[in-house]
Amino acid sequence: MVGEPVNVNEFQELARQALPKMYYDFFSGGAEDQHTLKENVEAFRRITFRPRMLVDVSRIDFSTTVLGYNISAPIMIAPSGLHKLAHPEGEIATARAAAASNTIMVLSSVSSCTIEEVASSCNAIRFFQIYVCKNRDISAQLVQRAERNGYKAIVLTVDVPRPGRREADIKNKMIVPPLKNIEGLVSTEVDNDEGSILEGFSKEALDASLCWSCFTDTDFSIRCFSWCFYNVKVEDIGWLRSITNLPILIKGVLTREDAIKATEVGVAGIVVSNHGGRQLDYTPATITVLEEVVHAVGGKVPVFLDGGVRRGTDVFKALALGAQAVLIGRPVVYGLAAKGEYGVRKVIHMLKDELELTMALSGCPSMKDITRSHVRTEHEKIHSML
């Protein structure tokens, strides 16, 4: 590729050229047939616009708030692990890019840099993502460290009772460097002859029995809902709420049923996500189920979208279907791999520029002007032909 990239997609090729194959496959790959991975992107292309003409769009404002924090655009950085595999500065470079872009970074619990290192690197608004470990003390310590270091929310990932089958990592025998945030808390030396070391660690450390709980206002009795077919336990989302004052967002919801349960347990927000197509293959693209989740919560909590965003037009489509903001994962890593902190800033800047243009051409001078009537989904197009 000659010259500077002109869109976010071109950063992926630069990342492929810059990274060892094992690491590029780790970041870019999905589960099994990678159907969901591809659909996350393709599904956006099946949504079209219904623009409005003769609207004053001489000034465009796409600034917004998330949990009361002002950000420059409805574009946040999704949690993704091991950024030092993409660039020597790792998550510190990503955090600095978030600060420069005036947006929120969600730091992964399996980051290359520690909670404390990222916190001291810049003044970005930071959320912290966690999994719940079998040893709850580990998760509790991570949450408490995040709270002490100024992180503003906890993002609980709920779609990894077991790791998805990521066949590229299995073939590559993916080697994971030390997981800095949990060094000394859990063994990262896993004897695993079948698959990647990362997969083996996940199976050993993560709690597959995590389930829903509703706490009533009058007592501490618990009504449990089983998560798929895993054993119901008292230790659950209610436990997490009991150990922190930070708001909790739940990431990994794809259905109306789980969206309703999430509001019942008192989460502060929902991230519609299929883990970037890295968990259960043949789950729907997140943009196709966004509206289902938005309707289910009925405005009780904000809903965010994660997965497949590669253009400012994608951001607009998600907003029109009810998302308060989107999270971007792979594009950030590709920018980091290609050009470090500057690459991450460039990726965010490109998406902002494209969103601004989309808003102008659609007749939407501000976020509140973006409505459901500005887009037409594939289902609506098929229905109109019947």
Distance CA 22, CA 265 (A): 40
Written as six digits, the tokens of 264 are 């019942």
Angstrom CA distances, 382 to 3, 287, 293, 379, stand at 41, 17, 22, 5
Written as six digits, the tokens of 361 are 């051409």
Written as six digits, the tokens of 170 are 């299995």
Distance CA 77, CA 6 (A): 20
Q: Tell how far CA 155 is from the center of its chain.
A: 9
Active-site residue, selected from the candidate residues 83, 87, 275, 374:
275
Length in residues, the chain: 386
270 and 301 in contact (C-beta within 8 Å)? yes
Written as six digits, the tokens of 234 are 């008292």
230 and 211 in contact (C-beta within 8 Å)? yes
Burial of residue 300 (CB within 10 Å: 0-12, 13-18, 19+) is middle
Angstrom CA distances, 181 to 117, 129, 139, stand at 10, 12, 11
Distance CA 305, CA 76 (A): 10
Distance CA 93, CA 112 (A): 11
108 and 129 in contact (C-beta within 8 Å)? yes
Active site residue 275: yes
Residues designated catalytic: 275
